[in-house]
Structure 1
Amino acid sequence: KQRASNLEIALEVGQFSTSKEAYYFHPLGLVGWLATKNNYITLEQLNILFPSADINKKQEIVEVYNEYCEMFNMHTPRVIAHFFAQIMEEVGPKISYKNESLNYSSEHLKRTKTIIVGGKKLTKGPFLYFRNNPSEADKYGRNANHHADQRMIANLAYANRNGNGDVDSNDGWNFRGKGFIQLTGRGNYLSAQKEIDKYAGSSGIDIINEPESILTIKGAMLSSMGYWISHGLNTVAEKGCSDTDVNNVTNVINSYTDSKEERRHNFSITKRIWKCEE
């Protein structure tokens, strides 16, 4: 028998087609190959990030991310550390990534508060539409007389925003926040799907025609990776591992969030795990 340099032995097997060859893989060679193939994140690492999450859910995340991260060029330590620091804040220790809840009370829909952003005062509330149309908040928000009409709240609040159509298009409801980064709006869905088609076209994920597919682990992960790429976040993440760098990533995802400190804390964990250097 002639042993090839790559630890394979070619055998002619009579019962198979004569145009085919069967290969024997040396056990040590096979183990070495498996150990180096797409092992960018591990279950042990995710156990640190998501201690309360179901182990099967974490294992599926490991498998999906490792399968696709090279395709999206999201396999460097800095990108992985920044990406999962953001995901930690979005889904929490149990990896909860359900549909965006729009179960708002009438009073909450009308509520406003003033925040300072870049030295400017901004009025903040759940949705501008209901602040400007308080009677609609009374009609569709939750109160003592009826439950919240979440579909109408979504369609009114998100109409003609983020690439959505008008109220009657139902885009607000179909493309409400979902997934690991709470992807919201037809425009963001389209941008993410474009990247999925480009880098993972054989994945079978179609978040435009099947928006609920984001509620699967595979759909949630690929839509988040598609969003990440479509917003140039690889470039932002590769700039460094300082608090400023974390804030720069966060500002792309949600510049108005109150969780910037938490995301910096998350990154202090992920950068140690993936040895992200300054």
Structure 2
Amino acid sequence: MVVIGVAISPGIARAEQLVTFDDIKKISPRADDALARAIADAEDQFAEHGITTRLRMAHFLSQVMTETGGLKRLDENMNYSEATLIRVFSRRTISRAKAAEVARKPREVANWVYGARLGNRGRDTDDGWNYRGSGYIQLTGLSNFRKRGVEINLPIADDPELARQPDAGLRAALAYWSARNINAAADDHDRHRVRVLVNGPAAHGYAQAKVWFNKAWSNVFQAKEGAGFETGAFEMAGGIVEDEVALFDDIMRESGLVPDDFSSTESGSEDERAEALREFQAERGLTETGELDEATQEALLDPIEWRYRDAEVVVTPTETRNPEEGVEFNLRPETATESGALMSIEPDMGTGEVEENVQLTADESAALIDARSIYAEYEMGAASVEPETFVPFSVIGEDDRVAITDTRGFPERAIVQTLFNNGRSDSLCTGTMISKDTVLTAGHCIHSGTQAGRPYSNYRLVPGRNVGAAPFGRCGAIAAYTLSGWVNSVTSLEARYYDLGAIKLDCDIGLTTGWMGVTTMNDDQIEKPTIVHGYAADKAPPGRQWVSTDKLRILWDLKGFYQNDTFGGTSGSPVMMSDAGDYIVGVHTNGLHGEEPWASNNAFTRITPTRMSEIINWAGR
């Protein structure tokens, strides 16, 4: 979802607070009174941290409810039964014998599970208990208590009970929210990214957070539009709330209560769900109804059902760095170095001089014909899917692409077909000349993405290719660059926000072809026409440029969404606004996948001021 024109009108006086004590009780009737009162009394603090719209507050509260089990307590519930310890933790973390020994002993459970990680000083200390999950947005472990204490200027590492007090706990949560700019993800209604920013790349508790958002929006914030808050309209991609039973099915799958392939549409699914619920109810000491009654829903929303995964998985990034920084891959020796303000690159038409012998060689033609499209893991859905056999969903409705039969003009001659080896076979992408020797493209045309990924090699680039002709020659590559977030993210769903890169050529072919300009995109471009210009692998004959037009439907801070028709091979294509001349404002990255708005729209990586600075750096090398 995107929020369009959402602002508090200066001409309308608010008839009520954005969130009140009664509002919180509507979301979670069993919320602790003192914790609810602390939120209701913190209007000035929320304003200081920019949480001043319904959507931002709904997201903030949905995360708080997820972290605290409905705002019932500010410390993590470590009161596990033996059966729950065995179900939720692996035997690597706790043996059956140890589970029997520590069950229903919260301090001992915490010291065993957390004592030797997150900066804690061993299972023989009380660190696991002292630094258990605490706060409205919970922090866990001595190292995190120390870091957050510096952020809010409170000695919570020396006195961890402070983090479990309403005032200090809320200050810590708001400091965390602002430090990670979670308001931007909330404005986009990007629930997964909000959860990643709160919990980390694994986004544990994501299904629970969606349930709590449903409750917050449906029970409280949907009705506040007429009370002097936002005067703009919300444009929903697939609706702002989801079916609650389906969300609880997700929770049950993630908790291991039903199989991963459980489907509510299959015959017998209701009986299977009922039996799973009865087993869960018995384990948690609830009445065995086999139904999603209120008590069972509350138990499934307990952080016990997801927080154990934080203890199970320890991700150690190679380094902590800004995901918007650049990473360089030297394509001659295989080493990597790091790159570190003008705000645009101006277009240049070049000389347009055509080569004397424009035909591709037989070897070049064969390599280009044999090559296949490359797709990002996040679009394919799993690392095990082979790009060679993946079929994208990226032609939306009637195919309106138009063929370019003469690539000698501008900007056609600055559009580049890119051939490279992905480690298994040769692949194709599109790119755009942005300097005499630099091609802007998608990150997944350079590296497979995430810390587990690999860089690609053996680049051959043909600007203005026209079927069997290379009117301006061809080049190799000496270096490639991506945003740090593309190669240092832990998951592909996190990496997709940083799918951007560039290739440094071994020649100055841009002096002939010219290059397109690059600039940032303003937030007021919604509904304006979009243009995608690239090489599509599903069209005949191979090696022809195609142009697709649509309009900008949704704009997030890091991504944009449209329904321009694309296909494999178009990855890395320039995205232009029809009124912006020969300037690129984004790079096409993917077709339909996942949840909304990704499920209904193709997407591009947006050029932001920070990224513009990085692109200028790449082009100037």
Q: Provide the TM-score with structure 2 as the length reference.
A: 0.30
Aligned to 1:74: 51
What is the letter of the counterpart of residue 213 of structure 1?
L
Aligned to 1:61: 39
Aligned to 1:180: 136
What is the letter of the counterpart of residue 46 of structure 2?
C
Q: CA deviation at 1:56?
A: 5.8
Aligned to 2:161: 212
**Structure 1 residues 106, 88: CA separation in 2 closer, same or farther (over 3 Å shift)?**
closer
In the alignment, structure 1 residue 191 sits paired with structure 2 residue 147: yes
Query: Aligned match of 1:141 in 102, 105, 108?
Result: 102
Q: How does 1:80-159 map to 2 (within 5 A)?
A: 80-91=57-68, 95-111=71-87, 125-126=88-89, 129-131=92-94, 133-138=95-100, 140-142=101-103, 148-159=104-115
**Structure 1 residues 52, 171: CA separation in 2 closer, same or farther (over 3 Å shift)?**
closer
Whether the 8 Å contact between 2:195 and 2:209 is mirrored in structure 1 is yes
Whether the 8 Å contact between 1:196 and 1:222 is mirrored in structure 2 is yes
Which SS does the other structure have where 1:259 is aligned? Answer: helix
Which SS does the other structure have where 1:74 is aligned? Answer: coil
**Structure 1 residues 230, 99: CA separation in 2 closer, same or farther (over 3 Å shift)?**
same
Q: How does 1:152-171 map to 2 (within 5 A)?
A: 152-171=108-127
- Tell me which protein shows more helix as a share of its residues: 1
- Tell me which protein shows more strand as a share of its residues: 2
What is the letter of the counterpart of residue 177 of structure 1?
G
Aligned mates of 2:22, 2:160 — CA distance in 1: 31
In the alignment, structure 1 residue 256 sits paired with structure 2 residue 212: no
**Structure 1 residues 87, 274: CA separation in 2 closer, same or farther (over 3 Å shift)?**
farther
Deviations 1:171-198 (A, max 9, x none): 211110222233322233233323322x
Gaps of 5+ in 2: 1-12, 236-621
Whether the 8 Å contact between 2:58 and 2:221 is mirrored in structure 1 is yes
Q: Which has the higher contact order (CA 8 A, sep 6+)?
A: 1
Aligned mates of 1:253, 1:52 — CA distance in 2: 23
Whether the 8 Å contact between 1:191 and 1:230 is mirrored in structure 2 is no
**Structure 1 residues 77, 151: CA separation in 2 closer, same or farther (over 3 Å shift)?**
same
In the alignment, structure 1 residue 272 sits paired with structure 2 residue 217: no
Aligned mates of 2:124, 2:224 — CA distance in 1: 46
Aligned mates of 1:220, 1:47 — CA distance in 2: 19
Gaps of 5+ in 1: 1-34, 112-124, 143-147, 198-204
Deviations 1:115-159 (A, max 9, x none): xxxxxxxxxx3366534x443333x323xxxxx432232122113
What is the letter of the counterpart of residue 141 of structure 1?
V
Aligned to 1:235: 184
Aligned mates of 2:84, 2:32 — CA distance in 1: 33
Identity across matched positions, percent: 26
Which SS does the other structure have where 1:167 is aligned? Answer: coil
Whether the 8 Å contact between 2:59 and 2:213 is mirrored in structure 1 is no
Q: CA deviation at 1:69?
A: 2.3
Q: CA deviation at 1:76?
A: 4.3
**Structure 1 residues 85, 260: CA separation in 2 closer, same or farther (over 3 Å shift)?**
closer
**Structure 1 residues 264, 80: CA separation in 2 closer, same or farther (over 3 Å shift)?**
closer
Aligned mates of 1:246, 1:126 — CA distance in 2: 26
Q: CA deviation at 1:80?
A: 1.9
Q: Provide the TM-score with structure 1 as the length reference.
A: 0.61
